[in-house]
């Protein structure tokens, strides 16, 4: 994990699969940073986020355990407790985990005729926004979340690293 002083959100990436990721660790960091800026979130810094890349089986286990769905899903978000971790002296405290299922995202990208790297970036953004408290349980919240995602994805497209 990069703990240089200029970053406000520290990103740790855990890769639990034997595939080459469509984005580098720096690209994932950029997705998080752009999402944070677009969301205009007000959180005390520093804090960290764990992005975990998993396979079909782990995604299915987590989705069944926490969402009661017996199938893998593209992205899950598990929010941590910043205040509790700060009080325990954990530095930087974790906002939470974004869990991305590589094979599901890869399949969705093909089905939706999107580049894998762009769809993967979208899942990083989507999962991180959930950690910031955004959701899509009703039309208004879904529209708000999609607007932020679209802002971030437009900036990512301009950066050219998602081909």
Which of 35, 25, 23, 22 is CA-nearest to residue 8? Answer: 35
Q: What CATH number should be reported for the domain whose range is 9-157?
A: 3.40.390.30
Q: What pLDDT was estimated at residue 159?
A: 66
Q: What pLDDT was estimated at residue 6?
A: 41
Domain-by-domain residue ranges, the chain?
Answer: 9-157
Chain segment 66-102, per-residue pLDDT in tens: 999 999 999 999 999 988 998 999 889 999 999 999 9
* Count of alpha carbons within 13 angstroms of residue 160, beta-carbon side: 0
Chain segment 104-127, per-residue pLDDT in tens: 999 999 999 999 999 999 999 999
Distance (Å, whole) CA 8 – CA 68: 34
What is the mean pLDDT of the segment spanning 15-21?
Answer: 91
> Which class for 5: exposed (0-12), middle (13-18), buried (19 or more C-beta within 10 A)?
exposed
Q: For the ranges 5-9, 49-53, 69-73, 103-107, which has the lowest average pLDDT?
A: 5-9
Which whole-number Å values give the CA distances from 112 to 100, 109, 153, in the listed order? 17, 5, 16
Q: Residue 2: which pLDDT band, with cuts at 50, 70 and 90?
A: very low
Percentage of residues of the chain with pLDDT beyond 70: 93
Distance (Å, whole) CA 76 – CA 123: 9
Q: What pLDDT was estimated at residue 162?
A: 55
Q: Residue 35: which pLDDT band, with cuts at 50, 70 and 90?
A: very high
Q: What is the pTM of this model?
A: 0.90
């Amino acid at each position: 994990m990069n703990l240089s002083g200029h970053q406000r959100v520290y990103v740790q990436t855990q890769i639990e699969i034997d595939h080459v990721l469509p984005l580098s660790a720096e690209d994932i960091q950029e997705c998080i940073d752009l999402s944070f800026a677009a969301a205009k979130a007000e959180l005390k810094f520093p804090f960290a986020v764990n992005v975990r890349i998993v396979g079909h089986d782990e995604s299915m286990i987590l989705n069944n355990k926490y969402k009661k769905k017996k199938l893998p899903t593209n992205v899950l978000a598990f929010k941590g407790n910043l205040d509790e971790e700060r009080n325990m002296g954990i530095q930087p405290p974790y906002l939470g985990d974004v869990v991305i299922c590589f094979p599901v995202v890869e399949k969705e990208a093909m089905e939706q005729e999107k580049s894998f790297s762009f769809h993967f970036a979208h899942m990083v953004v989507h999962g991180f926004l959930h950690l910031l408290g955004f959701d899509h349980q009703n039309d208004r919240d879904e529209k708000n979340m999609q607007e932020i995602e679209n802002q971030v994805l437009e900036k990512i497209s301009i950066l050219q690293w998602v081909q």
